[in-house]
Amino acid sequence: MELDQVETFLAVATFGGFHRAAEALHISQPAVSARIKALEESLGIRLFSRSRGGLVVSDAGRTFRPHAELLLRTASLARQAVHDSQPASGTPLQIAAALSISVYFLPDILKRFQRAHPNVIISIRPGHSKEVLDMVLSEEAEIGLARSLQHPEVETISLRDDPLLLIAHPRRGPKHTQRARLEEVASWPLISYERGSSDWTLTQGLFRSAGLVPNIALEVDSIETAKRMVERGLGLSFLPQMAVGRELRTRQLTTVELLDAEPLRRSLDVVHPRHRPLRTEVRAFLQMVREAANEEEAFAKGAGRKRRKARK
């Protein structure tokens, strides 16, 4: 059994087929088939089976999967231990981050980090979630911060929830309401942003699944622009909790609770390659990111409870 065979098994299990696994791993499909065959022969079991819906993980494969994940994680820890024994390199800390995370989440963390590590140079590369993943996979960044990222070649750590909230002006919103049904919301002037982004897709899917067409009054280029438009009473918008935390605390903006729709939940994730050990500076930064995410999530939950009590 070899590590690349185990990694290939997880890729096929994650993506549901040899072709997509080959694309994710940047190898040929025959190479994927050969690795899976060799792994099955070494284990003496069939890891996958065919069904009408396509390729599925077998019962034996499901039993093997957590051990495969643990095996790769252990190998990563071994690399990390060897790497930690080497002298520091002094290379700049390369971070890829989704645009909104760069704007609303990272500044306070970077201030705290630079105070503790004044000699570390930091480079931030912004992009959409898929671009962040690509930068980590291509080694252009050591870690990536984005939403809901999964890939067999990276370790994913979920930091906190960052749901999309329906945001309104507290005095200029429709009928000053704090609760509404989706059909009513669809008729209100809505502000959308970043067409094609994950936020845009989630919002559009919410209305599409209910058979509704939203009244898009404005379509703008960014979350920040959409927020400014809401502040001026030009409409409502589905915005990340992270982007409006301060305005909700100071009551410059308010949320509208949807009575008949599931919340638009996403996770804020940090990713790093399985095969590349993290430098000491990177691990220190990652620890600060975790602490900040925990603090913000605790504060957001407390503020949410206060808003719900105020509405009763």
pTM listed for this prediction: 0.66
Q: What pLDDT is stored for residue 116 in this prediction?
A: 92
3-84 CATH: 1.10.10.10
Q: Which residue has the higher pLDDT, 112 or 77?
A: 112
pLDDT category of residue 251 using cuts at 50, 70 and 90: very high
Q: Which residues contact 3 (CB under 8 A, 6 or more apart)?
A: 71, 72, 75
β pairing state of 154-161 and 237-240: unpaired
Q: Is the pLDDT of residue 303 over 60?
A: no
Most confident of 2-6, 51-55, 111-115, 170-174: 111-115
Q: Is the pLDDT of residue 309 over 60?
A: no
Q: Is the pLDDT of residue 302 over 70?
A: no
Q: Is the pLDDT of residue 87 over 70?
A: no
pLDDT category of residue 304 using cuts at 50, 70 and 90: low
Q: Is the pLDDT of residue 113 over 90?
A: yes
Burial of 222 per CB tally in 10 Å (0-12, 13-18, 19+): middle
Q: What pLDDT is stored for residue 168 in this prediction?
A: 95
N residues, the chain: 312
The tens digit of pLDDT for each residue in 255-285 reads 999 999 988 988 899 999 888 788 888 999 9
Q: What pLDDT is stored for residue 198 in this prediction?
A: 83
Sequence letter at residue 300: A
Residue carrying the six token digits 């060799």: 38
Q: What pLDDT is stored for residue 289 in this prediction?
A: 93
Q: What is the mean pLDDT of residues 159-186?
A: 88
Provide the token pair at 107: 């500044």
Pinpoint the residues of the chain covered by CATH 3.40.190.10. Answer: 93-159+267-303, 164-265
Q: Is the pLDDT of residue 143 over 60?
A: yes
pLDDT category of residue 197 using cuts at 50, 70 and 90: confident
Portion of the chain with pLDDT greater than 90, in percent? 46
- The Cβ of residue 271 has, within 10 Å, a number of other Cβ atoms equal to 24
- Indicate the class that CATH gives domain 93-159+267-303: alpha beta
Lowest mean pLDDT: which of 61-70, 204-213, 236-245, 289-298? 289-298
Q: How far apart are the first and last CA of the chain?
A: 60
Q: Which residue has the higher pLDDT, 306 or 272?
A: 272
Provide the token pair at 237: 């918008």
The tens digit of pLDDT for each residue in 51-64 reads 776 788 898 988 99
- 164-265 CATH, one of 1.10.3720.10, 3.30.70.600, 3.40.47.10, 3.40.190.10: 3.40.190.10
Q: What is the mean pLDDT of residues 67-80?
A: 80
The tens digit of pLDDT for each residue in 212-236 reads 999 999 999 999 999 999 999 999 9
Pinpoint the residues of the chain covered by CATH 1.10.10.10. Answer: 3-84
Gyration radius (Cα) of the chain, Å: 23
Q: SS3 sequence, the chain? A: CCHHHHHHHHHHHHHCCHHHHHHHHCCCHHHHHHHHHHHHHHHCCCCEEEECCEEEECHHHHHHHHHHHHHHHHHHHHHHHHHHCCCCCCCCEEEEEEHHHHHHCHHHHHHHHHHHCCCCCEEEEEECHHHHHHHHHCCCCCEEEEECCCCCCEEEEEEEECCEEEEECCCCCHHHCCEECHHHHHHCCEEEECCCCHHHHHHHHHHHHCCCCCCEEEEECCHHHHHHHHHCCCCEEEEEHHHHHHHHHCCCCEECEECCCCCECCEEEEEEECCCCCCHHHHHHHHHHHHHHHHHHHHHHHHHHHHHHHHC
Q: Is the pLDDT of residue 109 over 90?
A: yes
Q: Which residues contact 132 (CB under 8 A, 6 or more apart)?
A: 96, 97, 98, 141, 144, 145, 146, 149, 271
Q: What pLDDT is stored for residue 196 in this prediction?
A: 83
β pairing state of 122-127 and 257-258: unpaired
Q: Is the pLDDT of residue 2 over 90?
A: no
pLDDT category of residue 176 using cuts at 50, 70 and 90: low
